[in-house]
Chains A and B, each alone.
Chain A
Amino acid sequence: MSTDAITAHSAAGLSDARAHSSAVRHITTIAKRELTSYFASPVAYVFIVFFLLLCGFFTFMVGRFFQRGEASLIAFFIWHPWLYLFLVPAVGMRTWSEERRLGTIELLLTMPITPWQAIVGKFVASWLFLAIALALTFPLVLTVGYLGSPDYGVIFCGYLGSALMAGAYLAISCMTSALTRNQVISFILSVVACLFLILAGWPPVTDMLVQWAPNWLVEGVAAFSVMPHFESFQRGVIDSRDLVYFLSVIAFSLFTTGVIIRSHRAG
């Protein structure tokens, strides 16, 4: 390799590094703005209070936490796919539709940033917000810790799975939010999409397909289901297949969000 090539190579590496650090900076800037704007409105606090109340209600009243007599948070996590079904789209519905309604999308996308940075920044902010809400359920952990001697590893896995599932729902909500400037439509679309993810592996749904569909299709649809992946986290297992499942739902949805936004601009 000639010295010229080496300098050229290192210069390219340097500019790559610079581009990389500016990408991180742009994502942080956007995420920071989004997160501040959540907490600037009462919606954030209403959401968190609502989320915690529902968690409490389902865990103690419906899940019969105390009657179970076991030191685990099964009664808590088991409701999450259903709680998130309505609460996560409520958080995600505004991400892009609000941007289009206000016209600020025109500002954002004419800034010297790539659309990916904006998409990821917005997603990360909403995800962090959900994670904060989830983290505020910590008194439950203290409670089981006080009453018995739980396996904290299992609890940690449950939280991790729950956060990943929230991320997957959220990415879907971002995608439907990019579809329309109407938040209500965006909310309904993402509830339907998330409901599909919950029900895909449910026997009544697969039975409906078994009648006529080939086996690979039935299994394919069932594989979309969020439930078995979340259940293994609840059992305290971190399986790479489950991680891949959640992360690929997120990646696919965010990628589609980018495609939708680009096609809107292309007219």
Chain B
Amino acid sequence: MIKVHNLVKAFGSKLAVNDVSFTVERGEVLGFLGPNGAGKSTTMRMVTGFIPPTAGRISVGGFDMVSDPIPAKRLIGYLPENAPAYTDMTVYGFLNFTAELRGLSGESRKKAVHRAVEMCFLDSVLYQSVDTLSKGYRHRTCFAQSIIHDPDILIMDEPTDGLDPNQKHEVRTLIRRMGEKKAIVFSTHILEEVDAACTRAIVIDRGKIVANGTPRELRQKSDLAGAVSLRVAGVTGAVLRERLQQLPGVKRCAIVREEPGAAWARAYGAKGARDNELNQSLYELAVREQWKLIELKAEEGRLDEVFRAITLPDTPATSKEQAQ
């Protein structure tokens, strides 16, 4: 539904977005990750047609956003950053206004407003003026505006920013549910949201895409991915390390912590080892040595670590780990 080719945006001599390409199909929820100022908002503003690109092509549902913006914009629902809304209008007036601009009239407009109000739980503030609303309600009002015409494409810039944990959860659930039938792009810098709602994630840094994959694929990039940590009672750290290093299949190991009467180590297997190969051989080692195994855990890899590693290339994840 969305095809972006070699998108470039320059503000003066500064490249805010530098050669970004991606596609989003129906049924996909694409998470846009990146540090502040990485170019997430700028990319979204170009895709929604708010600002024109310096170079590159944006096609939305087959329509070119630059040369044929009206039909392209018709397909999109957009929640801008900070959820702006006309402060002097009531929630109902505001939703009616946006529905009207979306070309809905009469009975269908009434239905659309009603549906959006219900989905975003706005009943209790419907006739309240927007500037008297709390941040959460204000946010939901703008969110309701973005889904009022039941768009095929939903683009949201930090949709959970400033919401409390319950509201965050609601929004994520809503995104995941709607993502089954729509193409959704949303930006965030909260990594747990990627796991909670995305089918795919793009990490963007200094205007460039630095990673693109499913949350699982991204986690695999972590050094931690595939490592196994184990906690053993009655062994000192030195002994544990020695035994682990002798084990074939362990490339590297580190003692995470020594406690009185127990040691905690992490073993890294060779890249490309089969799933669970390392766990099994560690288990067998423990049985042979008659260790009292307190914990044996296969690490999945942590997204925040991957995020740091690829957006701060000077400090690789391994050195961080060793510094701990």
Contact = CB atoms under 8 A, between A and B. Distances in A.
B93 interface: yes
B50 interface: yes
B145 A22 contact: no
Interface in B135-170: 142, 145
Given A112-B70, A112-B74, A266-B51, A102 B87 contact: yes
Contacts of A69: none
Scoring B51, B52, B86, B100 by chain A CB atoms within 10 A of each residue's CB, the highest score goes to B86
Contacts of B11: 267
B84 interface: yes
A197 to B, nearest CB: 31
A37 B88 contact: yes
B275 to A, nearest CB: 45
Interface stretch (B75-83, B175-183, B303-311): B75-83
A102 B80 CA distance: 11
Contact of A104 (B48, B52, B84): B84
Interface string A157-178: 0000000000000000000000
A103 B103 contact: no
A267 B8 CA distance: 13
Nearest to A43: B88
A33 B103 CA distance: 15
B50 A110 contact: yes
Given A103-B80, A265-B52, A40 B88 contact: yes
A104 B45 contact: no
B291 interface: no
A112 B102 contact: yes
Nearest to A267: B11
Interface string A98-133: 000011101101111110000000000000000000
B85 A104 contact: yes
A104 B86 contact: yes
Contact of B45 (A29, A33, A106): A106
Interface in A30-54: 30, 33, 36-37, 40-41
A173 B211 CA distance: 47
A248 to B, nearest CB: 28
A36 B93 contact: yes
Contacts of B10: 267
A116 B85 CA distance: 21
B70 A114 contact: yes
A80 interface: no
Contacts of A37: 86, 88-89
B9 interface: yes
Nearest to A30: B101
A113 B101 contact: yes
Given A104-B85, A112-B103, A267 B73 contact: no
A25 B102 CA distance: 11
Contact of B88 (A30, A41, A107, A112): A41
B212 interface: no
A40 B78 contact: no
Contact of B50 (A30, A33, A109, A113): A109
Interface residues of B, number: 34
A36 B89 CA distance: 9
A26 interface: yes
B100 A29 contact: yes
Contacts of A106: 45, 50, 78, 80, 84
Given A26-B101, A40-B89, A267 B80 contact: no
B78 A110 contact: yes
B73 A103 contact: no
A37 B87 CA distance: 9
Contacts of A114: 70
A106 B145 CA distance: 13
Nearest to A266: B52
A33 B84 contact: no
Contacts of A29: 97, 100-101
B98 interface: yes
Contacts of A111: 73, 98, 101-102
Contacts of A33: 86, 89, 93, 97
A17 B142 CA distance: 32
A104 B83 CA distance: 9
A110 B73 contact: yes
Nearest to B71: A112
A107 B80 contact: yes
B49 interface: yes
Interface of A: 22, 25-26, 29-30, 33, 36-37, 40-41, 102-104, 106-107, 109-114, 265-267
9 closest A-B pairs by beta carbon, nearest first, are A103-B84, A112-B74, A112-B73, A106-B80, A110-B48, A111-B101, A29-B100, A265-B51, A104-B84
23 contacts: A22-B103, A25-B100, A29-B100, A33-B97, A37-B88, A37-B89, A102-B84, A102-B85, A103-B81, A104-B85, A106-B84, A107-B85, A107-B145, A109-B49, A109-B50, A112-B71, A112-B74, A112-B102, A112-B103, A113-B70, A113-B101, A265-B50, A267-B9
Given A104-B84, A106-B50, A107-B142, 6 more contacts: A22-B103, A25-B100, A103-B81, A106-B80, A265-B51, A267-B10
